[in-house]
Amino acid sequence: MNGPVRRIAIGVFTSFCALLLAVTWIQVVHADALKADPRNARPALSERGKERGLIVTIDGIVVAESVVDPLDPRTFVRTYPEGEAFAHIVGYNSFILGNSGLENAYASILRSKRDLTISDLVSVLLGRDLRPHSLEMTVNGSLQRAAYEALAGQTGAVLALDPKTGAVLAAVSSPSFDPESLLGDDASTVWDSLLADPESPLSDRATRELFAPGSTFKTVVTATALDTGEADPETEFPDPVEYELEGSTGTISNFDGGFCNGGNPVTLLVAFIRSCNTIFADLSVRLGAEDIGITASALGFNTDLTFPWTVPQATYPVDDLIDDPAALAQSGIGERDVRATPLHMAMVAAAVANQGLVPSPYLVSRVFDADGNVLEAPEPAPIGRAMAPATASVLAQMMEQVVTNGTGRNATVPDVRVAGKTGTAEGAGDGPHAWFIGFAPVENPTIAIAVLIAGGGDFGESATGGAVAAPIAADLISLWLRGTP
């Protein structure tokens, strides 16, 4: 009689081995995937109510802080005292939506390790510190606030860098949102209404959105011309009223539709400070896509940047332009398929200010433990050299003349030597993208800046970089160098 019972026993224990295998699959092999599934609320819920580290600006303004929940003193609520001005870079820590910005990029540093598990108990006994760590941003709080106010609700962005180190001094995107509105139980509703907003306040236009750089890209073309010896500031170019695109019936004309210099031969310097499209289309074709591409790539185009989050690649599509002189001419004035974020364009200005060396942009200056000891103080090395020091100093003088005698007069700051370049690119919205990139003071630059008003801002179709973006840059440079706008 025991024969059948024995065979059933074998069957039963084989079935139990199947259960053991299934449990092993779920809890060991596949566990991380189950944990990471976005529909699994547990990881976010376990973070809810826990203390997180501070985030402060380099001038000591608290931008993210966990405070004791008055309703439940055992838990914490996250507050963002600076609200909208810092929303895109600081991000949020929402138990429904997850993390974004620095809250996401530095999540493992900012979170408390105090999970009440056995391994925590062991860590405490071993004297390890389970309290959350804190971050200090490179951002200057006053400059950031001023930049957000200067944009005044217009669609746009400001990005300021220390041209020598690459430290981000300000990174503002407008319009913005209140990060604290995404922390509660109604986060999904708020999120949906922000997504539906036609001005897309959730978009980070400073570091995570690409725009046609327009004439600001002429700095890249000029750097290539100076570096290769193809031209110097006094090299003369013919001045047609229109540049005829090769292999196409289209033409490129200047901003006002007229000559650059009354039809007389025009120097590169004059073409640059007047931002003449005809001359730069011509120069671009003379230089060729490959040489411009080398300078652009060295400035951070066509490459991935190291940043706390993924920055989209700025593009100068060399391969598409080699056999397409029409597209090459249009690309020389920052149109066609040339795209960059304000971060990239600030890097271009910083490279000119930094004698040709391209600094690596960074956002976090120091990581502290709960006792204030510095754990990390990154100082990233420059990305590389984009132009010879001599080229950079000549280009800096040309950019200074843009502000003194050219399209960038509105960027003038009394008693400060400002260098810059305007840009007015064809936008997708109601008006053009108005740009200004620049740095100051020219003799020893401490700030490089890119200002973008997308779609014309309050000026609509009549917006230009010089009229709309340059005054904002002037105010911020003035604030930075002299303490008043």
Partner 1 sequence: MTRNAEGATVVAAAVLAAFGVTLVNFAREQSIDAQTALTFLVFLIAFGGVHLAVRTWAPRATPLLIAPITALTALGFIEIYRLDPVKAGLQRWWMLIASGAAIAVLALFARSSTTILRRYRNITLLIALILLLLPNLPTDWGFPLKGLVVNGSRLWIVLDMGFTTLQFQPAELAKLGFVIYVAAYLADHQKALREARRHLGPIRFPEPRQLIPLVVTWVVSILILISQRDLGASLLLFAGFVLLLYAATGTAGYLVAGGFMAAAAGVASYYMFDHVQRRVIAWLTPFQHFDDEGYQIAQGLFGMGTGSLSGAGPGLGRPDLIPNASTDFIFAAVGEELGFAGTVSVLALFSLVIAVGLGISFRSRDMFRKLLAAGLTFVFAVQTFLIIGGVVRVVPLTGITLPFMSYGGSALVGNLILIALLLRISHEEAT
| Catalytic positions | 215
Our finding on whether 127 is near partner 1 (CB under 8 A) is: no
Residue window 103-122: x/- pattern of binding to partner 1, with contact defined by CB under 8 A = ------------xxxxx---
Stretch that binds partner 1, among 11-19, 226-234, 253-261, 343-351 (CB under 8 A): 11-19
Q: Compute the least distance from the CB of residue 117 to partner 1, in Å.
A: 5
The residues near 433 (Cβ < 8 Å, ≥ 6 apart) are 211, 212, 214, 423, 424, 425, 426, 427, 452, 453, 454, 455, 456
Closest C-alpha among 140, 136, 129, 112 to residue 54 = 136
**Cα torsion for 114, 120, 125, 129, to the nearest 10°?**
-40
Q: Which is nearer to partner 1, 121 or 428 (CB)?
A: 121
**Residue numbers 413-472 binding partner 1 by CB under 8 A:** none
Our finding on whether 23 is near partner 1 (CB under 8 A) is: yes
Let me know the angle formed at the C-alpha of 376 by 372 and 382, rounded to the nearest 5 degrees.
Answer: 140
Q: Is the dihedral of CA 478, 483, 484, 485 positive or negative?
A: positive
Stretch that binds partner 1, among 12-20, 220-228, 260-268, 397-405 (CB under 8 A): 12-20
Residue type, 317: P
Stretch that binds partner 1, among 37-45, 152-160, 354-362, 365-373 (CB under 8 A): 37-45
Q: Compute the least distance from the CB of residue 24 to partner 1, in Å.
A: 7
What DSSP element (H or E) covers 105?
helix 101-105
Q: Compute the least distance from the CB of residue 30 to partner 1, in Å.
A: 6
Question: Three-state DSSP class for 18?
Answer: helix
**Residue numbers 58-77 binding partner 1 by CB under 8 A:** 74
Question: Three-state DSSP class for 227?
Answer: helix
What residue has token string 């959730």? Answer: 202
Residue 468 DSSP label: I
Our finding on whether 45 is near partner 1 (CB under 8 A) is: yes
Looking at 19, 71, 196, 381, which residue binds partner 1 (CB under 8 A)?
19
Our finding on whether 5 is near partner 1 (CB under 8 A) is: yes
Residues making contact with partner 1 (CB under 8 A): 1-6, 8-9, 12-13, 15-16, 18-20, 22-24, 26-28, 30-35, 37, 39-43, 45-46, 74, 115-119
